[in-house]
Every structure is written in structure tokens, then in C-alpha cells.
């Protein structure tokens, strides 16, 4: 093993899906079950909603500051979603993955496709509602957005269906518990991949070779 190689690579989990598919709820549940998961806090220009905390839900910023960061190549990906900018801080995320951590990104499909280009080793999971009717029902029931915004979101879902084929995994969020289990199973399986455990395997085999166990 080379001296420069200090850690096996971690897992970059990229979770997307239409708003109302329940990806936020799934990601929150996963993080409760796995507190070791690092979550990337995005930078956004959208107004802060009631109950949201700056530096916890997002880093809220101005369009000018966001554009400065763009110029400095500070984002792993960024997107304009519903007339607001959202971006993932690049260095913070990649440093953690290189250290061997599992990092969770909950980002829209445009952003996910940019991450796939820059970091193809990422694991891309698309969360879908059981049907479009159910999605529409959930968006209205949530009561956080106007009718126009909801209609814009539904139109976006339909236009994005093609891109969903580029993901590694699709999880249908019919029953929340089952959807969380599935995302968890994907993460655990990815962590067990041989390619991510070379260092650990070397250590185990070294002990056999040096007969420390005999």
C-alpha cells in the first residue's frame, strides 16, 4: 500500500427525486439511524422558510455572493431550481469522502447529473412516489407552496422522468419504513464493496501472513 493512501474511499450517496416524493423524510430517517453519515449543507439564494435555520438546513445567501462562489469554482454542482440557486460546497464534500466517510447529498436531478460527471463513483438513488396522483396529493396536503408552484413542480417531474434512467437505484416511496430500509440496504452494500475495503482487507490478511492469529 502506498504511503499516500491513508484511507479507503468513502461513499458519496446522492439522493434525488421530485419534491413530495419524500426524499427529505427518508434522508432524515437514515441520518437518525446512522449518525455517522455526513450531510452536505447546501448554499441557496431562496428565502428562508419558517422553522429553517441558517447553517443547519441551508446556508442562505444573496445572488451576488452565490455568483462569487461560482466564479471561485466552490461548487461540486449547482442548479437553478424554481428560480432560486442551490449549490453543494465542493471541497467539504470531497474531503470527507476521501477520508472514508459516507456523505449524503440531497439534491435535484440537474445537480445529480453534474456530480455524476465529476464523481462517477458516487451512488445515485432516485426516490419516486407510487404514482403522480399520489405526488400531487402529497404536495397539496403539505400546504407549503402555492398552487402555481405545485403545478410547476408537477410539470418538472414529468420532464425529468427520462433522466431518472441514469440513476443506479430507484426506490419507490410507498411505505416510508420500507423505503428507508431500502436506501439503508443500498448504503450498507456499497460500504461492503471490495474496492472500498482494500486497506482493511490488507490489514486482516497481514495478520494471517504474520501468523498473529495462530
Instruction: Tell me whether residue 51 is annotated as binding.
Output: no
Q: Which is nearer to ligand 5GP, 13 or 107 (CB)?
A: 107
Residue 99 CA to residue 197 CA, distance in Å, equals: 13
The residues that touch ligand 5GP, with contacts defined as CB under 6 A, are 19, 42, 46, 77, 79, 81, 86-88, 106-108, 110-111
What is the four-CA torsion angle of 20, 24, 30, 34, rounded to 10 degrees? 180
Instruction: Tell me whether residue 55 is annotated as binding.
Output: no
Shortest distance, position 46 Cβ to ligand 5GP, whole Å = 5
Alpha helices in the chain (DSSP H): 23-33, 63-71, 90-98, 109-118, 132-142, 147-160, 176-191, 198-209
Shortest distance, position 163 Cβ to ligand 5GP, whole Å = 12
Q: Which is nearer to ligand 5GP, 2 or 72 (CB)?
A: 72
Instruction: Tell me whether residue 20 is annotated as binding.
Output: yes
Instruction: Tell me whether residue 87 is annotated as binding.
Output: no
Binding site feature residues for ATP: 17-24
Amino acid at each position: 500500500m502506498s504511503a499516500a493512501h491513508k484511507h479507503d474511499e468513502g461513499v458519496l450517496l446522492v439522493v434525488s427525486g421530485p419534491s413530495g416524493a419524500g426524499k427529505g423524510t427518508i434522508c432524515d430517517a437514515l441520518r437518525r439511524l446512522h449518525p455517522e453519515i455526513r450531510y452536505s449543507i447546501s448554499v441557496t439564494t431562496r428565502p428562508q422558510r419558517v422553522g429553517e435555520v441558517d447553517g443547519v438546513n441551508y446556508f442562505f445567501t444573496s445572488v451576488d455572493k452565490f455568483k462569487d462562489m461560482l466564479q471561485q469554482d466552490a461548487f461540486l454542482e449547482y442548479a437553478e431550481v424554481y428560480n432560486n440557486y442551490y449549490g453543494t460546497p465542493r471541497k467539504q464534500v470531497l474531503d470527507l469522502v476521501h477520508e472514508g466517510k459516507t456523505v449524503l447529498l440531497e439534491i435535484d436531478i440537474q445537480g445529480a447529473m453534474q456530480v455524476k460527471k465529476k464523481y462517477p463513483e458516487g451512488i445515485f438513488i432516485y426516490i419516486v412516489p407510487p404514482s403522480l396522483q399520489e405526488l400531487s396529493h402529497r404536495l397539496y396536503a403539505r400546504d407549503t407552496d402555492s398552487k402555481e408552484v405545485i403545478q410547476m413542480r408537477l410539470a418538472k417531474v414529468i420532464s425529468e422522468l427520462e433522466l431518472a434512467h441514469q440513476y443506479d437505484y430507484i426506490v419507490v416511496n410507498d411505505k416510508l419504513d420500507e423505503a428507508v430500509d431500502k436506501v439503508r440496504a443500498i448504503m450498507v452494500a456499497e460500504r461492503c464493496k471490495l474496492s472500498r475495503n482494500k486497506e482493511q482487507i490488507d490489514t486482516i490478511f497481514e495478520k494471517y501472513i504474520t501468523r498473529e492469529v495462530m
